[in-house]
Structure 1
Amino acid sequence: MLPVLIIFVCTPLIELYFLIQVGDVIGALPTIALSLFTAALGGYLVRMQGIAVLMRVRDLLDRNQMPALELLDGAVLLLCGFALLLPGFVTDAVGFLLLVPPLRHALIRRYFQVVPAGHAVHPGHDEPRVIEGDYRRED
């Protein structure tokens, strides 16, 4: 709980510091314009990647596979879009870094145990274990 509190307190202060520093170098209006530009560009990029993730989710669902990585990918993209919409250069940098798919997937795999679609995890087995069978419904 303490790390979350520190993030919520320190992030706005760090953002304010950098906004003041950049504003001092290039001026107030260019700083505001740059902040609006990064928000617009980030929103566009998140939208494009979000549509791609949505198409992958639909494709996997059509093949009756669980889109676990894609759902987490979409959740990280949502956080990424939120970070890019916040005014400030530090959150924009974090948001743009999370737009890089290999970094995003590495982050997801680091904090979540994700199995690619179509595979199963079985201790001691390298290959997925498939059990075939038939069933009949009797009412």
Structure 2
Amino acid sequence: MFRILFVLFIVVPIIEIALLIQVSDVIGGVATIALVVLTAVLGAKLVKQQGLSAFSNVQGQMAQGQMPASELFSGLCVIIAGVLLMTPGIMTDVIGFMLLTPPIRVHLANALVKQIGAQMHAKMSAQQGGFSHHAQQSPFEQPQSSFDKTEGVQEQSSTIEGEYQRKD
């Protein structure tokens, strides 16, 4: 967590200041300030448009009884893009405009799903490593019957069957 905060509050502003100085050397100070203001205004307009579109898509999917996972991720990307575009700087503007591009959002969503799937698989494999063979079944598989159908012999199970009678 410390590394992330360090990058956000120390490294990113240093990079932004260096880029603004280099751009102002090439196009001038007034033009650089105008560029930063223009990207903020254009970014705000695009964020509003795409944010409302994402919101209506989420509502439509929920009305149909579907989980709007991709629309929620798209909305999150639009929010992050809005924050980045409102932050003065060249690098944050580039990243913000990239997040407003639908193909890049789709690519990010696919990469995130792949990463989460790999982490879940690794955790499930680690959890099942120390258990017996019976516990190594996937949680998505159907449980096996406690009786062997060919011989009628009961396998070892954690369920204790029996009858009881209450005597008062």
Output the TM-score relative to the length of structure 2: 0.64
Sort the Cα spacing of 1:123 and 1:102 in 2 relative to 1 into closer, same or farther, 3 A: farther
- Give the match for residue 101 of structure 1: 102
Structure with larger RCO (C-alpha < 8 A, sep 6+):
1
The structure having more radius of gyration, on CA atoms, is 2
Tell me the percent identity: 41
1:69 aligned partner: 70
What is the CA-CA distance between 1:109 and the residue it aligns to? 2.3
User: Could you tell me how far apart the structure 2 residues matched to 1:3 and 1:40 are?
Assistant: 31
Equivalenced residues, count: 117
Runs (4+) off by over 6 Å: none
What root-mean-square deviation, in Å, do the aligned CA atoms of Structure 1 and Structure 2 show? 2.0
Question: Once the 2 structures are TM-superposed, how far is the Cα of residue 37 of structure 1 from its aligned partner?
Answer: 0.1
Deviations 1:72-101 (CA, angstroms, capped at 9, x unpaired) = 211111001000110000000001111111
Structure 2: where are the runs of 5+ without partners?
Answer: 117-138, 142-168
Report the alpha carbon displacement of residue 59 of structure 1 after superposing the two structures with TM. Answer: 0.9
| Greater mean deviation of Cα atoms: 8-17 or 24-33 | 24-33
Tell me, in whole angstroms, the C-alpha distance in 2 between the residues paired with 1:34 and 1:73. Answer: 26
> Residues of 2 paired with 1:70 and 1:123: CA distance?
27
Q: Does the 8 Å CA contact 2:77/2:100 hold for their aligned counterparts?
A: no
